[in-house]
Amino acid sequence: MTWTTRATRASVVAAAAAALTLAAHAAAGTKTQDWPQFRGPHRDGISTDTGLLKSWPAAGPKEAWRRPLGEGFSGMSIVGDRLYTMFAADQNGEATEFAAAFEAGTGKEIWRTPAGKRYDNDFGNGPRSTPTVDGDMVYVLSSTGQLLALAAKDGVERWKVVVPEAFGGKVPYFGFSGSVVADDGQVLVEAGGAEDKWFVALDAKTGATRWTSGKGPTGYSSTLPIDVNGGRTYVHIARDKVLGIDGSGKEIWSHPWPNGETHAIPIFVPPDKVLVSGVEGIGAALLQIGKGPSGPTVTEVWKNPTFRTHFNAAVAHDGHVYGFDNATLKCISLKDGSLAWAKRGYGKGSLVVADGMLVILSDEGKLLLVEATPTAYVEKGSVQALTGRCWTSPTLAGGRVYLRNHAEMVSYEVKG
pLDDT of 32 above 90: no
Can you tell me the distance from the alpha carbon of 148 to that of 141, in angstroms, rounded to the nearest whole number? 6
Residue 12 pLDDT: 35
Q: Is the dihedral of CA 97, 98, 104, 106 positive or negative?
A: negative
How do residues 240-253 score in pLDDT, each as one tens digit?
999 999 999 999 99
pLDDT of 408 above 70: yes
Nearest to 240 by CA among 210, 261, 213: 261
pLDDT of 274 above 70: yes
How do residues 292-351 score in pLDDT, each as one tens digit?
999 999 999 999 999 999 999 999 999 999 999 999 999 999 999 999 999 999 999 999
Residue 260 pLDDT: 75
Q: Are strands 379-384 and 395-397 parallel, antiparallel or unpaired?
A: unpaired
How do residues 116-125 score in pLDDT, each as one tens digit?
999 999 999 9
For residue 227, the cross-strand partners are 232
Regarding predicted confidence, which is higher, 416 or 161?
161
The answer to whether position 170 is within a domain reads yes
The mean pLDDT value for 96-106 works out to 98
Phi first, then psi: give them for residue 89, nearest 5 degrees. Answer: -160, 170
Confidence of residue 6 (pLDDT cuts 50, 70, 90): very low
The percentage of residues in the chain with a pLDDT greater than 70, rounded to a whole number, is: 92
The answer to whether position 12 is within a domain reads no
Regarding predicted confidence, which is higher, 22 or 360?
360
Instruction: Identify the three-state secondary structure at position 13.
Output: helix
Confidence of residue 25 (pLDDT cuts 50, 70, 90): very low
- Share the mean pLDDT of the chain: 92
Please answer whether residues 39 and 313 qualify as being in contact, where contact means their C-beta atoms are separated by less than 8 angstroms.
yes
Residue 83 pLDDT: 98
Can you tell me the distance from the alpha carbon of 326 to that of 361, in angstroms, rounded to the nearest whole number? 14
The answer to whether position 167 is within a domain reads yes
Nearest to 210 by CA among 235, 184, 178: 184
Residue 11 pLDDT: 38
The mean pLDDT value for 356-380 works out to 98
The answer to whether position 103 is within a domain reads yes
Can you tell me the distance from the alpha carbon of 202 to that of 149, in angstroms, rounded to the nearest whole number? 11
Confidence of residue 195 (pLDDT cuts 50, 70, 90): confident
Residue 239 pLDDT: 84
CATH code: domain of residue 81: 2.40.128.630
How do residues 33-82 score in pLDDT, each as one tens digit?
899 999 999 999 999 999 999 999 999 999 999 999 999 999 999 999 99
Phi first, then psi: give them for residue 205, nearest 5 degrees. Answer: -90, -35
The answer to whether position 4 is within a domain reads no
Structural domain tally of the chain?
1
The answer to whether position 22 is within a domain reads no
Q: Which helix (H) or strand (E) holds 21?
A: helix 6-32
DSSP-derived letter for residue 415 is: B
> Can you give the residue range of the structural domain that contains 131?
74-176+179-219
Please answer whether residues 241 and 215 qualify as being in contact, where contact means their C-beta atoms are separated by less than 8 angstroms.
no
The answer to whether position 111 is within a domain reads yes
The answer to whether position 9 is within a domain reads no
Residue 31 pLDDT: 42
Can you tell me the distance from the alpha carbon of 282 to that of 259, in angstroms, rounded to the nearest whole number? 9
The mean pLDDT value for 174-192 works out to 97
Asked whether the whole model's pTM tops 0.75, one would answer yes
Alpha helices, H only, 240-387: none
Can you tell me the distance from the alpha carbon of 271 to that of 249, in angstroms, rounded to the nearest whole number? 22
Residues 6+ positions from 393 with CB-CB distance below 8 Å: 39, 45, 75, 312, 350, 351, 352, 361
Q: Are strands 350-354 and 46-47 parallel, antiparallel or unpaired?
A: parallel
